[in-house]
Amino acid sequence: MSDSPSCPLCEGRQTLVVSNRDRDGRALSNRLCTSCGLVFIDPQPTRAELDQWYAQSYRLDYKGVIEPRPRHVLRAGRVALDRLTRIRPLLTGHPRALDVGCGGGEMLYLLTHLGGARAEGLEPNEGYARHARERLGLPVHQGFVERSREITGGYDLITIHHVLEHLAQPRMAMDILSDWLRPGGHLVVEVPNVEATCQAPAHTFHRAHLTTWGLPTLERLGLQSGLRPVSAQVSADGGNIEVVFTRDERFRLPAPDLADHTAGYATQVGEILRGHTPARHYLSAAALRRLGSRWRAQVGERLDARRLREPRMILDALVKAARASRWPAPAPVPAPDNPTGAAPR
């Protein structure tokens, strides 16, 4: 136990160092807050470092590209289709939607062309925002959640997949997202799961993930911003968690109630991280299954992407396949001056 910077969720200062290396073997300290169970990087990068990285070099560092290649579009498109399928009940009535951290625009494209949403995107990376605008014809604002003057709010639905863990001020970001929703609107958040044991122990922590969440900590984050959790799920491999919140000001909980929400969770997270040892991991069937399925997915992506070169063709093929199986064609999108969607006379 040592003194440390305050926890980005509960501001507690009692922490335990749970890792000293990132997944590439470089020095990186991650601490577990023993009050709430959030894991966070210490020291945090500066605002200027983060801004520069996400606007310019992040995708290049991660994938070696400035714009997504066809196989990236296909992979992201398939993931987006799964995500869209899960939130299908939220897509009735052509919701006004915002996809935060929309990347190359795959989710945004499917939200629009399959889900019938009137959707916009927000993306900090220049190359990916331009790709989504120019190659897919999507309305994408370039910028950051914490400082985006172009976003007016009043959304029925906001989606934010694998973004929150990259933000230096998650509480501030959640307050802003809550403000951008109309009362009763929904926020869908997906992040990596701090309880995940599907990856090798040495691959657990990434230097871009400033915070690592579990269901109780993520729900607590929403509860302090007037967001009530309405559903929560863990992915089949345990690697990701998704919580759907609704904006409900009665649930802007006071501090003691927030603390109750994560009571005992830090102990649980500590035990999971300590128990996730290399020997146990490599003996587990999950590791073998993961290797096999990753290889199959990569081969399949290369083959399909070779056939479909253009990002729009790839996503249209996904839309078509989805409609043929489980999605009916959406009704026409109502014009802004015709909000009921009734046929014009």
DSSP string computed for 165-193: GG-S-HHHHHHHHHHHEEEEEEEEEEEEB
Nearer to Zn ion, 10 or 74 (CB): 10
Which residues, 292 to 311, sit near Zn ion by CB under 5 A?
none
Contact with Zn ion (CB under 5 A) among 16, 18, 32, 33: 33
Nearer to Zn ion, 15 or 125 (CB): 15
Task: With CA atoms as reference, report the closest residue to 212 among 19, 12, 1, 5.
Answer: 19
Give the residue with the Cβ less far from Zn ion, 12 or 143.
12
- Report CA-CA distances (Å) from 85 to 23, 90, 110, 159, 215: 31, 10, 10, 13, 21
- The three-point CA angle 276-282-284 to 5° equals 80
Backbone angles phi, psi at 36, to 5 degrees: -115, -20
Mark 267-290 as b/e (b = at least 16 C-beta within 10 Å): eebbeebeebeeeebeeeeebeeb
Site string for Zn ion, 35-54 (x = CB under 5 A): xx-x----------------
Of 4, 9, 189, 248, the residue at the interface with Zn ion (CB under 5 A) is 9
* Interface size with Zn ion, residues (CB under 5 A): 8
Q: How far is the CB of 11 from Zn ion (least distance, A)?
A: 7
Which of these ranges, 32-40, 50-58, 286-294, 305-313, lies near Zn ion under the rule CB under 5 A?
Answer: 32-40
Nearer to Zn ion by Cβ, of 106 and 165: the residue is 165
* CA 166 – CA 182 distance, rounded (Å): 25
Q: How far is the CB of 14 from Zn ion (least distance, A)?
A: 9
Indicate whether 270 belongs to the interface with Zn ion (CB under 5 A): no
Nearer CB in complex with Zn ion: 264/339: 264
Choose, by CB under 5 A, the member of 12, 143, 239, 334 that binds Zn ion: 12
Distance, in Å, from the CA atom of 27 to the CA atom of 49, rounded to the nearest integer, reads 18
Binders of Zn ion among 154-173, rule CB under 5 A?
Answer: none
- How many other CB atoms sit within 10 Å of the CB of residue 299? 10
Would you tell me which residues interact with Zn ion (CB under 5 A)?
Answer: 7, 9-10, 12, 33, 35-36, 38
